[in-house]
Amino acid sequence: MVRVLTISADVRELAGGRDVFEVEAETVAGLISRLEAQFPGLGHLIEEKMALAIDGEIFQDAPGERLRPECEVVLIPRIAGG
């Protein structure tokens, strides 16, 4: 079980106010499709507009990244710079 957390209001809006999820997934791609199935639009939002901190390390556009069982994933807004 992967524990998914977020600080994002956009995620909460699509997930009926929730910002903590328990998801069964082995890769980032799997996680995204499970969340999309549960909350339509959420998977798409994550794919297009968010980065993930997997056990603290930031990944952006990394669908193949494997997820350890019991790892923690935080959904964070994409970061760009100037």
Partner 1 sequence: MSDPSGSNGGYRVIGSRPVRPDGVDKVTGRAQFGADFHLPGLLTGRIKRSPHAHARIVRIDTAAAERLAGVKAIVTAADFDLEAAGEIEAGESASAIRDVAANCLARAKALYQGHAVAAVAATSPEIAAEAIDLIAVTYEVLPHVIDVDEAMAPGAPVLHDDMFTRGVSPRPGTASNVAQRHVMSRGDAAGMLAAADIVVEGRYTTAAVHQGYIEPHACVASWGADGQSLIWSSSQGQFLVRAMTARILNIPLSDLKVIPAEIGGGFGGKTTVYLEPVALALSRKCGRPVKIVMSREEVFLASGPTSGSSIDIRLAARRDGTITAAEMTLRYQAGAFPGSPVHLGCMTAFACYDVEHLSLIGYDVVSNRPKVAAYRAPGAPMAAFAVESAIDDLARQLSMDPIDLRIRNAVRDGAKTVYGASVRSCALVETLEAIKSHPHYSAPLNPGQARGVAAGFWFNIGGESSAAVHIDEDGGATVVSSNPDIGGSRAAMAMMAAETLGLPIERVRCTVADTASIGFSGSTGGSRVTFATGMAVTEAAQKVVADLRRRAAQIWECDVADVAWRDGVATCLDPAKTVKPLSIAALAARSAKTGGPIAAEVALNAQGAAAGYGVHVCDVEVDPETGRTSIVRYTAAQDVGRAIHPAYVEGQLQGGAAQGVGWALNEEYVYSPEGLLQNAGFLDYRMPVASDLPMIDTVLVETKPNPRHPYGAKGVGEVSIVPPLGAVSNALSQIVGRRMTALPLSPVRVLAALGKI
Site pattern 6..35 for partner 1 (x: CB under 8 A): xx-xx--x---x------------------
Residue in 27, 30, 39, 62 binding partner 1, rule: CB under 8 A? 62
Residues with Cβ within 8 Å of residue 75, at least 6 apart in sequence: 4, 5, 6, 8, 11, 46, 50, 51, 52
Region binding partner 1 by CB under 8 A among candidate stretches 23-31, 34-42, 74-82 = 74-82
53 torsion bin: left (phi>0), alpha (psi -120 to 50), beta (else): beta
Q: Does 57 bind partner 1 (CB under 8 A)?
A: yes
